[in-house]
C-alpha cells in the first residue's frame, strides 16, 4: 500500500492520521516542532484523540522535517483556511503547504486537499504551486483529489469514521482511488462527487446554509426583544410542527460556519456576481457579539449599575462547548465591546489554554469567585461545568449590593429561576 503523509496535525489532520495509521504506514507532518513532540509523547492538546488512540495507531509516525516526506506517495493537506481582517480568503497556509509538498512530489503521486476552499481553488491556486515546485505536469505526472473535512471539534459521537465523506479526483481513475482510500476507514461510507469543483462547492455550502439559518433566528431574536417576548419560547412553540428546523440564535464563531461563506462570496464576486443573501446573513451573525454586549449594558444601566466602574464576569471563551478550540471566538468580540464601555472584564474558561488566549486575543484568563464578586455575569459558552450551576450559585458570585444582569447567551438556565434568584436576564 502507498504510504500516506498527512500535512497539518490539527483538529482535522490528527484524527485522520490516527485512523489511517491503524492499518497502513502514515507520516503525520507539522511545522510546529512542539506539536510533533507532544504527539510523540502521546499528548494531544486539542483533546480530539486520547493517548490510547494515539498508541493504537501503530503505523503512524510524526515529523517536522520536510526530508521525511519524500518517502510518501499520497499527500493529504489539512491546513486551516482562514480569512483576513477584511474577510477575504487567506490562502497562505494552503499555498505554503502546497510548496512543501511540491518540493518532494514524484511522478505518480496524489495530493488530496481537505481544507475548505471556494469552488475551483484546488486547480486555480494549488495545482500551479505544485507544478512550479515539482517541475511536474498536472494529470500527467501527478494527480489531485479533494475530500472536504467534516470534523466537529469536541463531538465524541459524530466522529471522523461515522460521518459520510465526500471524495473526488482529478481523473476518473484517481477519483476511484481516492474514494477507495477513504472507504477503507469511513464506516459511514463515501459520496464520490463528479469533479473537484463539485466537492469543493458541496463543502462550502454546507456551512453557508447553517450560517444563514442561524442568521434568520438571530434576526428573529432582535425583533422579539423589541416586541418583549422570549425567543426560546417562540422557537419551542414553532418547533411543535414536524418540519420546523431547530436552529437557535447565538454568536457564530469557529473555523467553519463563521468563515466558509466568505470563500463562496469571494468567488462569486470574482465572477461579477454580488451575493446578497449570504452576505446579509454574515452581517447579522457578525454583529451578535456587539448586540449582546449592548443588551447587557442597557440592563445594567437600567438597574442603576455604574457601568464604567463595574466588573463583569464572562464565563467561556472557546468558540463552542466542551472543547479547547478558541479559533475565531466571538466571545472575544463581546469582551472588547464591554471594555469599550469601561467595564472591567474577568474571563474564565476551564477548557481554554490561557497562553493561547493571551496570544490570540490579548485576554488574560482569571477566576470568577464569590470572594471577588462581579456586578454582572455573562455565560457565553455551554460547557458542562457551567450547565450544572444553579441560579443561586451564579448569584453568589455577584455583588450583593446591586441587581446583577445575567447574560445567558446559550439559554442554559430557566429564566424564571434566574429572575427569582435576583437576576435581570438577557438572552438571545
The catalytic residues are: 256
Q: What is the DSSP secondary structure assignment for residue 119, as one 8-state letter?
A: T
Length of the chain: 428
Helix axes 260-270, 276-286, angle to 10 degrees: 140
| Rg, C-alpha atoms of the chain | 24
Residues 195 and 171 sit within 8 Å (Cβ to Cβ): no
The dihedrals phi and psi of 415, each to the nearest 5 degrees, come to -65, -30
**Which of 422, 396, 421, 426 minimizes the C-alpha distance to 409?**
426
- How open is the CA angle 108-102-106, to the nearest 5 degrees? 25
**Which of 110, 193, 199, 194 minimizes the C-alpha distance to 150?**
199
What would the grid cell of residue 165 be?
465523506
CA–CA separation, 319 and 251 (whole Å): 9
Cell 493504537 found at: 56
Amino acid at each position: 500500500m502507498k504510504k500516506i503523509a498527512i500535512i497539518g496535525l490539527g483538529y482535522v489532520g490528527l484524527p485522520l492520521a490516527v485512523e489511517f495509521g491503524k492499518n497502513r504506514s502514515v507520516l503525520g507532518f507539522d511545522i510546529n516542532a512542539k506539536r510533533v513532540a507532544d504527539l510523540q509523547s502521546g499528548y494531544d492538546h486539542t483533546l480530539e484523540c486520547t493517548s490510547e488512540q494515539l498508541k493504537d495507531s501503530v503505523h503512524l509516525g510524526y515529523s517536522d522535517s520536510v526530508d521525511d516526506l519524500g518517502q510518501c506517495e499520497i499527500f493529504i493537506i489539512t491546513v486551516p483556511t482562514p480569512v483576513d481582517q477584511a474577510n477575504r480568503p487567506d490562502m497562505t497556509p494552503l499555498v505554503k503547504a502546497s510548496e512543501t509538498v511540491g518540493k518532494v512530489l514524484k511522478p505518480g503521486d496524489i495530493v488530496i486537499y481537505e481544507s475548505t476552499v471556494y469552488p475551483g481553488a484546488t486547480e486555480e491556486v494549488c495545482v500551479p504551486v505544485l507544478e512550479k515546485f515539482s517541475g511536474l505536469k498536472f494529470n500527467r505526472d501527478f494527480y489531485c483529489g479533494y475530500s472536504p473535512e467534516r470534523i466537529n471539534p469536541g463531538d465524541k459521537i459524530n466522529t471522523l469514521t461515522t460521518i459520510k465523506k465526500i471524495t473526488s479526483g482529478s481523473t476518473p481513475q484517481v477519483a476511484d482511488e481516492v474514494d477507495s482510500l477513504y472507504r477503507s476507514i469511513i464506516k459511514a461510507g463515501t459520496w464520490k462527487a463528479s469533479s473537484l469543483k463539485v466537492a469543493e462547492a458541496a463543502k462550502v455550502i454546507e456551512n453557508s446554509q447553517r450560517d444563514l439559518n442561524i442568521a434568520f433566528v438571530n434576526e428573529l431574536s432582535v425583533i422579539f426583544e423589541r416586541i418583549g417576548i422570549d425567543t426560546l419560547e417562540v422557537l419551542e412553540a414553532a418547533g411543535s410542527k414536524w418540519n420546523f428546523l431547530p436552529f437557535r440564535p447565538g454568536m457564530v464563531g469557529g473555523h467553519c460556519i463563521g468563515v466558509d461563506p466568505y470563500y463562496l462570496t469571494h468567488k462569486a464576486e470574482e465572477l461579477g456576481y454580488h451575493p446578497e443573501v449570504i452576505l446579509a446573513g454574515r452581517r447579522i451573525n457578525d454583529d451578535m457579539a456587539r448586540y449582546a454586549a449592548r443588551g447587557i449594558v442597557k440592563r445594567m444601566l437600567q438597574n442603576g449599575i455604574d457601568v464604567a466602574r463595574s466588573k463583569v464576569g464572562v464565563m467561556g471563551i472557546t468558540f463552542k462547548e466542551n472543547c479547547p478550540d478558541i479559533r475565531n471566538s466571538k466571545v472575544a468580540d463581546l469582551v472588547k465591546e464591554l471594555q469599550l464601555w469601561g467595564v472591567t472584564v474577568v474571563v474564565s474558561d476551564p477548557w481554554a489554554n490561557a497562553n493561547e488566549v493571551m496570544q490570540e486575543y490579548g485576554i488574560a484568563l482569571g477566576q470568577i469567585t464569590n470572594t471577588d464578586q462581579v456586578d454582572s455575569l455573562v455565560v457565553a459558552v455551554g460547557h458542562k461545568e457551567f450547565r450544572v450551576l444553579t441560579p443561586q450559585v451564579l448569584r453568589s458570585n455577584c455583588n450583593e449590593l446591586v441587581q446583577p444582569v445575567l447574560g445567558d447567551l446559550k439559554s442554559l438556565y430557566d429564566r424564571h429561576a434566574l429572575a427569582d434568584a435576583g437576576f435581570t436576564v438577557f438572552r438571545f
